[in-house]
Amino acid sequence: MNPAILLLGLANFALIGALPFCFFKKSGKFNAMWWLTAAPFFFCPGFLTAAFLGLISPAVRPESWLGVLLQFGSLVSSIVSIALIFFALGCHRIPIALWHQVDDAPESIVTYGPYQRVRHPFYAAFLLACAGAFLLAPQWGPLLTLIYALLTLNFTAANEERRLAGSRLGAEYQNYLRQTGRFWPRWRRSQT
């Protein structure tokens, strides 16, 4: 495993871990659902570190052509994840709410920057980080963590979307839903 790619992957997870403390609203609290949703972002760095230290046997030899290809994929995933996080942060004029805050009423809908194509660019970046971890250490632990992250973030995003659709911004948000993808850009946009 390439130490530089490992360091970039770990830095990606450190950035994700810093978001609730440095960039998001402080009024919320870390409830049980927040911890369940955040769990993969604690486990992935542990799996990467264990794989690097040889505590988990590699499924693919890092020096093989497949190993090199997977490491390159991990590098690209981490770079895109970090860039997407900063790009999304740059689009917010007010602090972003923590996940699962019931009392957080939306004041506006951000529809520019990465939000122009994807409704949840932070979640997309988080999934890219987990995918990068799996590509760097292609084993059961990172794979299950990626699947778990996809399921929990999809559940969280669906709840947030229902709440926004039912808010005073509901009509505007319904139109936005038709134009964008949840985590990945839509290839064909709705004409309505």
| pLDDT value, residue 97 | 61
The whole-number average pLDDT for the span 43-55 is 90
pLDDT band at 98 (very low <50, low <70, confident <90, very high): low
Distance between CA atoms of residues 24 and 164, nearest Å? 18
Is 54 inside a domain boundary?
Answer: yes
Range of the domain at 122: 3-179
Task: Give the chain's radius of gyration (CA, Å).
Answer: 18
Which one-letter DSSP state was computed for residue 151? Answer: H
In a domain, 184, yes or no: no
Per-residue DSSP letter, 191: -
Query: Which pTM value belongs to this model?
Result: 0.86
Per the listing, tokens 């689009």 go with 91
In a domain, 31, yes or no: yes
Confidence of residue 43 (pLDDT cuts 50, 70, 90): very high
Residue 97's CATH number: 1.20.120.1630
Residue 189 has pLDDT above 60, yes or no: no
